[in-house]
A and B are shown apart, each in its own frame.
Chain A
Amino acid sequence: MSTVILTVPPQGFDSTNPAGLEYTNAVPKLLFDDTTSEIVYWMLRLPSDFSSAPVLKVQYTMASATSGTFGVSVSIMAVTDGDAADVDTESYDTANSPTASTVPGTAGHLDEISVTLTNADSMVAGDLVFFKLARNVAGDTATGDAEVRAVSLEYTAS
């Protein structure tokens, strides 16, 4: 199993509905509203040892909720060297939206969501890959902000 870190803060914020960015104790966290679907982006060259089974790990806390669920939606766009595709034209695969997870019973306590990237736009080693992360506000029930602390991609290496 190999891991790629997707940093917080991310490389990009949606121009219309960006997730918030806040610092606590000088450390950043992303704030995802409970009603408006807010979005952030990453882009990277998929490592040469990527083989299969990509899973996005999302570590989060809740700002105040102690009940209900938190869910995310992850979309992938992969472009291969030589593809007849304008990289600046968005063409994301179907979103991966796992069932929302029950939040910790205490606000501020850490939980982790695993998002199996079933729809990964057929990404292969060496691809330029775009990741779009949004809160699944229609599919979760916890009120108030979700605070995303860390994101990483795990996969089976060749």
Chain B
Amino acid sequence: MQDTKKVQSLINAAAVAIEEARKLEAIRTKYIAASPSVTGTPLQGKLTLLNKFLGDLDTLLNSEAANLLVDNKVASHRGKAL
């Protein structure tokens, strides 16, 4: 059954989450430039794991699907159909 508004609610919710997650890219860039030591932090010994996670996330956040969702967000739709 077609329900464009329910579809739009999903698109908007996903787009908002993607846009928020994309802010992590700028933070990561600053982090790399700062190159802080992770000794004594929860990231000690986990840099390979972290880098893979952030790399995979970056790929997802800039994928065709992510761009499709963000490009089709409707500002005046309040996401209440779901």
Contacts and interface: CB of A to CB of B under 8 A. Distances in A.
Interface in A65-92: 65, 68
A35 interface: yes
Interface string A123-144: 0000000000000010001111
A154 to B, nearest CB: 29
A118 interface: no
Interface in B1-30: 2-5, 8-9
A143 B78 contact: no
A42 to B, nearest CB: 24
Contacts of A33: 76, 78, 80
B4 A141 contact: yes
A23 to B, nearest CB: 15
B5 A64 contact: no
Task: Name B's interface SS.
Answer: loop
B8 A143 contact: yes
A145 B5 contact: no
Contacts of A35: 5, 9, 77-81
Interface string B62-79: 000000000000111111
A34 B74 CA distance: 11
A64 B75 contact: yes
Interface residues of A, number: 15
Nearest to B79: A35
Contacts of A2: none
A106 interface: no
A77 to B, nearest CB: 28
A31 interface: yes
B5 to A, nearest CB: 6
Contacts of B3: 141
Interface of B: 2-5, 8-9, 74-81
Given A33-B80, A143-B74, A144-B8, 20 more contacts: A33-B78, A34-B8, A34-B76, A35-B5, A35-B78, A35-B80, A35-B81, A64-B76, A68-B4, A141-B2, A141-B3, A141-B4, A142-B4, A143-B4, A143-B8, A144-B74, A144-B75, A144-B76, A144-B77, A145-B76
